[in-house]
Structure 1
Amino acid sequence: MTTGQIALSSFVDLAACTHGSRLLETNAFAYVGKALGVWVEQLLDDLGVGTEPKIHGNVSPGAYVQGRVYIDEGAVVEPTAFIQGPCYIGPGAEVRHGAYIRGQVYIGAKAVVGHTTEVKGSIFFDHAKAGHFAYVGDSILGRDTNLGAGTKLANLPLRRSVIKVKDPVTDQWVSSELQKFGAIMGDKAQTGCNAVLSPGTLLLPGTAVLPCVHYRGTLRQGFAR
């Protein structure tokens, strides 16, 4: 097993993403958890966010928004949603009733964080959707990805060990050097309802995990059944 990198460009067309040009580090592991938080803080600095939220979208009076949060034009935050900074919410994004965003999170344009969905240390690229009852921990969702209701992207192994992944290019095991790392879902990847992705899962663009399936590994094409 080597200590190395996983190329974010193997999963996401960055040129088509809002703020894609800011993702200068090519290693995908640099965009989850605390490392992602540093990147989000830099984005918030450039957007003029101080210690309090900067809101341009439509935030319900019944929502809770705390700390360094930027909510872009056209974004909607529904009643009882909770957003903790640092966090960026892109134009036209939806944070629905009961959603829980725990910080160190980037939500791209027209992405959806749905009802009772919890997110921490993760990126939702443009049009990524976790519409219902999902958990997304220390993960990356590519453009136009979709999580079926009840999907869980687990980020912490039971044995509390450093998480390794299988590089989709070299087929070699690579250490993430992280003890918390969920999944990377490439552009237009999908999960069915109640799917569970174990820590260290990689789904290449256009792949899918079918409903009620537990998957752990690197899915290069087709469906995991």
Structure 2
Amino acid sequence: MFRLDEFFDLEGCPIPGLFDNVQYPWEVLAQISALMEKLVQENKSAYREVAPGVWIGAGTTVADTARFHGPAVFGRDCEIRPNAFVRGNVIAGDGVVLGNASEVKQAILFSGVQLPHYNYVGDSILGRGAHLGAGAIISNFKSTKEAVKVRIGDSVLETGMRKLGAIIGDGVEVGCNAVLNPGTLVGARALIYPLTSVRGYIPGGMICKGRDEIVPYLPR
């Protein structure tokens, strides 16, 4: 029903064996704090602490106006730009960009993820090289306050989670001001048009132009 290899090749995954003991990838979100502690303890020489419970790797730069609520771990050569907000339980790989007025919490970001302008990412996993255009938002909480369900085709998976954003595969491009609704799945190298509201499952290698218009991506 759910194939991990349709989303991630696991290159650039910040935690070795991240999905080894779970059935679905969103199950690891509840384990972030423990995973982070283990990561830092096993690689202490690779990180320095820049705020209480916030660790960064070599070459990572932090703007004076960035704000942190730990715990969080960022790998090497990341950019945490002015007015970025890290709101706890974040694990990021190498070369991640967290930009102006972007906020992230309870999330795992593979290497090369870019959240450069006015983005919100909560309770989500983003694969290697995924990019959110300016103003793109990952919504993690239903207005009805019900537990989030994940839909793949005609199947509905009960997550039991009150908050769950999106599982975004490697190389996904999300256009400016798009909104990914709670429980959205986007396969590797899919494209989401600007200003779209997305829910459910977008297969890898497709373009989502709107709720009822999903077509193959044919690079020129």
User: Does TM-score exceed 0.5, indicating one fold?
Assistant: yes
| Match of residue 61 from structure 1 | none
| Match of residue 35 from structure 1 | 31
Greater percentage in strand: 2
Tell me if structure 1 keeps the 8 A contact 2:86–2:105. Answer: yes
Task: Give the letter aligned to residue 206 of structure 2.
Answer: G
Judging changes above 3 Å, is the alpha-carbon distance between structure 1 residues 6 and 95 closer, same or farther for their aligned structure 2 residues? Answer: farther
Offset, 1:206: 0.8
Aligned to 2:77, what secondary structure does the other structure show?
coil
- Inter-partner Cα distance in structure 2 for 1:185 and 1:179: 19
| Match of residue 126 from structure 2 | 141
Task: Give the letter aligned to residue 67 of structure 2.
Answer: F
Task: Give the letter aligned to residue 190 of structure 1.
Answer: E
- Inter-partner Cα distance in structure 2 for 1:18 and 1:35: 15
Deviations 1:138-166 (A, max 9, x none): 01110011100001000000011111112
**TM-score with structure 2 length normalisation?**
0.86
Tell me if structure 2 keeps the 8 A contact 1:183–1:198. Answer: yes
Offset, 1:55: 2.0
Tell me if structure 2 keeps the 8 A contact 1:200–1:217. Answer: yes
Aligned to 2:167, what secondary structure does the other structure show?
strand
1:20-169 → structure 2 map (5 Å cutoff): 20-23=15-18, 24-26=20-22, 27-32=24-29, 34-48=30-44, 55=48, 65-167=50-152
Offset, 1:106: 0.8
Structure 1 unaligned regions, length at least 5:
57-64
- Inter-partner Cα distance in structure 1 for 2:4 and 2:79: 25
2:212 counterpart of 1:215: no
- Inter-partner Cα distance in structure 2 for 1:31 and 1:86: 16
| Match of residue 62 from structure 1 | none
| Match of residue 163 from structure 2 | 180
Tell me if structure 1 keeps the 8 A contact 2:110–2:128. Answer: yes
| Match of residue 59 from structure 1 | none
Structure 2 unaligned regions, length at least 5:
210-220
**TM-score with structure 1 length normalisation?**
0.84
Tell me if structure 2 keeps the 8 A contact 1:71–1:89. Answer: yes
Aligned to 1:21, what secondary structure does the other structure show?
coil
Alignment root-mean-square deviation, CA: 2.0
Offset, 1:9: 3.9
